Amino acid sequence: MKRLRLRGMRLALGVFAAQVMVGSTTALCWQLTRGGLNGWAALYGAAVAVVPGLFFAWITLRHPADADPKRVVRSLYIGEAGKLALTITLFTIGVLGFGAQFLALLSTYAICLACYWLAMAVNR
């Protein structure tokens, strides 16, 4: 069971590393092509994807392998609710701060979320 937990942590860290690389690259592309605050908005969009995911992974993967199943399920609910609340909050801040550059923010967010699909395809 401990091996499975370590695999989950490695997979989560791999997804987050891929999201940071993809998000940074996308932000650089936005900055080079559109300039202004588009690069910062895109970088913020990557953060909107990464931060809630890190929160969820931290909440759900912190239990030992022999933890009470009710406790683990409760942490899944708490992690998902927290992830949703963080995403909504970060998007609200993004709209207020980068309203004119929202396309850069949203497109980078979507591209970073695609890293989850890539991870599922690679780790069957």
Give the separation between CA 64 and CA 119, rounded to whole angstroms.
24
Percent of the chain with pLDDT over 90: 70
Tell whether the torsion through CA atoms of 35, 40, 56 and 77 is positive or negative.
negative
R_g of the chain computed on alpha carbons: 16
Q: In the predicted model, is pLDDT for residue 5 greater than 90?
A: no
Tally of domains within the chain: 1
CB 31 within 8 A of CB 38: yes
Place of tokens 């396309």: 103
Q: In the predicted model, is pLDDT for residue 28 greater than 90?
A: yes
Per-residue pLDDT of 63-117, as tens digits, reads 877 788 899 899 999 999 999 999 999 999 999 999 999 999 999 999 999 998 8
- State the residue range of the domain holding 65: 2-122
Q: How confident is the model at residue 4 (pLDDT cuts 50, 70, 90)?
A: low
Q: What pLDDT score was predicted for residue 124? A: 67
